[in-house]
């Protein structure tokens, strides 16, 4: 089995307990860093590792940290983005529930590197069990001297708080997350200013995904060269791929970046259920373009998936077999985006609604020939016209299914109904 980094402890019984984490080498990276490594050198180590954000955008983590000013009159903050809500993505929840101390150690190292003394874990409101596990782990870590004042007898201190969301997908967007944490509606901010200079409560802020932070302890302990040797040249390390939909063994698989979609879907996830044919898959959560069986040999790293016309995003792979209607799938996701649009930008709020109306009528046999051009026109009027990436995400399932499966849309319109039985 390939080397695991963020999932290395998840199969161990009682893995969420501090004593188990300690017995498996936990908190030794923090101890080493506090005793031997200067904060600036930590940032350099993470830069050299090539680690890129695991939330979806893939921004280089060390570079993000280096944007935060060294001196600041206002307090600096770390927000751990645990608002895992991208359809098809279910990896952070595993880390949170099974290895909370790995996340806390990653948070402590990150805060030490940047000079932060308060961190918030913004966890989606539905994950009530996960929030309890984290609270328990924070209490344990405090009592053992890994959090709080004078951590491990150093002069470094850090408080970590769990902050629950309340059911809004948009709060996974970093500026909406900060608005929500400040007790406001989760409406994305205009950028600039960027969070690194003016973020939470006006202070310089870093927002990192759970899986990103969970990589930090091993990068520090084993070194950036060790990490950079895993994966591909520009997409280093592993990725937790979540495979869902029509496969025999859905689940989360931590594998080196650059594994092919074919190996992931057919070997690890056991192939298509019922021995059926694969029709389409979404490689990075619902916000990225669909791919088809032609793309099965695409390597799942940031560059290769982009070259194939999609994005690696959150690495949530949604697999659909040949019984799946693409109009129905696009409509399902369009309803999701319509429901989750924060409503701030007109093209997104109104566009998602109208795309749903038009898709609904195509799916139910009332479609018109001109509807496909109308849908693409709506897409073009959302693209780039909104404050945050949500608008572009929302149009993607609609646009990409029309591009790849236009004949199927036309069959709905000409045949006055959906040719697939369900």
Partner 1 sequence: MLSQAAMEKFQQLLEHYPDKRAALLPTLHLVQSEVGYVSKEAIDYVAGLLSLTPTYVHSVASFYTMFYKEKMGKYVIQVCRTLPCALCGSQKILEYLQGKLGIEVGETTPDGTFSLVTVECLASCGTAPVIQINDDYYEGLNPEKVDRILEELSRK
| Interaction between residue 364 and partner 1 (CB under 8 A) | no
| Interaction between residue 242 and partner 1 (CB under 8 A) | yes
- Residue 186 or 258: the one with the smaller Cβ distance to partner 1 is 186
| Interaction between residue 127 and partner 1 (CB under 8 A) | yes
| Interaction between residue 185 and partner 1 (CB under 8 A) | yes
- For every residue of 148-172, DSSP letters joined together read BSSGGGSS--BEEEEEE--S-GGGG
| Interaction between residue 81 and partner 1 (CB under 8 A) | no
- Residue 199 or 245: the one with the smaller Cβ distance to partner 1 is 245
**Which one among 21, 227, 302, 336 touches partner 1, defined by CB under 8 A?**
336
**Which one among 49, 61, 85, 352 touches partner 1, defined by CB under 8 A?**
85
Report which of 275, 220, 235 is spatially closest to residue 34, judged by C-alpha positions. 220
DSSP designation for 319: E
- For every residue of 171-194, DSSP letters joined together read GGSHHHHHHHHTTS---PPPSSSP
**Which one among 68, 333, 359, 404 touches partner 1, defined by CB under 8 A?**
333
| Interaction between residue 223 and partner 1 (CB under 8 A) | no
Q: How far apart are CA 109 and CA 101, in angstroms?
A: 12
Report which of 358, 352, 357, 354 is spatially closest to residue 339, judged by C-alpha positions. 352
**Which one among 157, 184, 222, 276 touches partner 1, defined by CB under 8 A?**
184
Q: How far apart are CA 174 and CA 195, in angstroms?
A: 8
| Interaction between residue 128 and partner 1 (CB under 8 A) | yes
**CB count in 10 Å sphere of residue 353:** 15
**Which one among 252, 310, 356, 386 touches partner 1, defined by CB under 8 A?**
252
State phi, psi for 244 to the nearest 5 degrees: -135, 175
Q: How far apart are CA 129 and CA 34, in angstroms?
A: 31
Least distance to partner 1, CB of residue 40, Å: 26
**Residue 293-322 contact track with partner 1, rule CB under 8 A, x = bound:** -----------------------x-x-x--
Spatial CB neighbours of 67, under 8 Å, sequence gap ≥ 6: 194, 196, 197
Binding site for partner 1 (CB under 8 A): 75, 84-90, 92-93, 120, 124-129, 159, 161, 163-169, 180-186, 201, 242-246, 250-252, 286, 316, 318, 320, 324, 329, 332-333, 335-336, 339-340, 342, 422
């Amino acid at each position: 089995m390939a080397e695991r980094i963020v999932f290395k402890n998840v199969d161990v019984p009682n893995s969420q307990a501090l004593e188990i984490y300690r017995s498996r080498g936990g908190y030794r990276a923090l101890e080493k860093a506090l005793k031997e490594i200067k904060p600036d050198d930590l940032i350099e180590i993470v830069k050299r590792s090539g680690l890129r954000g695991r939330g979806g955008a893939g921004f280089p983590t060390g570079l993000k940290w280096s944007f935060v000013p060294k001196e600041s009159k206002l307090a600096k903050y770390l927000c751990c983005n645990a608002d895992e809500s991208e359809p098809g993505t279910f990896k952070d929840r595993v880390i949170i529930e099974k290895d909370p101390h790995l996340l806390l150690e990653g948070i402590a190292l990150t805060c030490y590197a940047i000079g932060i003394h308060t961190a918030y874990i913004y966890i989606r409101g539905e994950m009530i069990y996960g929030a309890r596990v984290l609270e328990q782990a924070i209490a344990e870590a405090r009592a053992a001297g890994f959090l709080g004042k004078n951590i491990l007898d150093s002069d470094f201190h850090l408080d970590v708080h769990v902050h629950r969301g309340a059911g809004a997908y948009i709060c996974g967007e970093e500026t909406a997350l900060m608005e929500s944490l400040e007790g406001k509606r989760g409406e994305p901010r205009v950028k600039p200013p960027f969070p690194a200079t003016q973020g939470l409560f006006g202070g310089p802020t870093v927002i990192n995904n759970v899986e990103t932070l969970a990589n930090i302890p091993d990068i520090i302990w084993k070194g950036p060269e060790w990490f950079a040797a895993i994966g591909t040249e520009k997409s280093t390390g592993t990725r937790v791929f979540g495979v869902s939909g029509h496969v025999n063994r859905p689940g989360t698989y931590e594998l080196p970046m650059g594994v092919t979609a074919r190996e992931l879907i057919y070997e690890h996830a056991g192939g298509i259920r019922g021995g059926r044919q694969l029709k389409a898959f979404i490689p990075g959560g619902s916000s990225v373009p669909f791919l088809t069986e032609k793309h099965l040999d695409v390597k799942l790293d940031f560059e290769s998936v982009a070259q194939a016309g999609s994005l690696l995003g959150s690495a949530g792979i949604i697999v659909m077999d040949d019984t799946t209607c693409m109009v129905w799938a696009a409509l399902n996701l369009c309803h999701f985006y319509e429901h989750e649009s924060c409503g701030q930008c007109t093209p997104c709020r109104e566009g998602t609604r109208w795309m749903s109306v038009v898709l609904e009528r195509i799916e139910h046999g009332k479609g018109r020939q001109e509807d496909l051009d109308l849908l693409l026109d709506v897409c073009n009027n959302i693209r780039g016209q909104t404050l945050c990436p949500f608008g572009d995400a929302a149009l993607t399932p609609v646009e990409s299914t029309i591009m790849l499966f236009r004949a199927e849309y036309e069959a709905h319109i000409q045949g006055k109904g959906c040719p697939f039985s369900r």
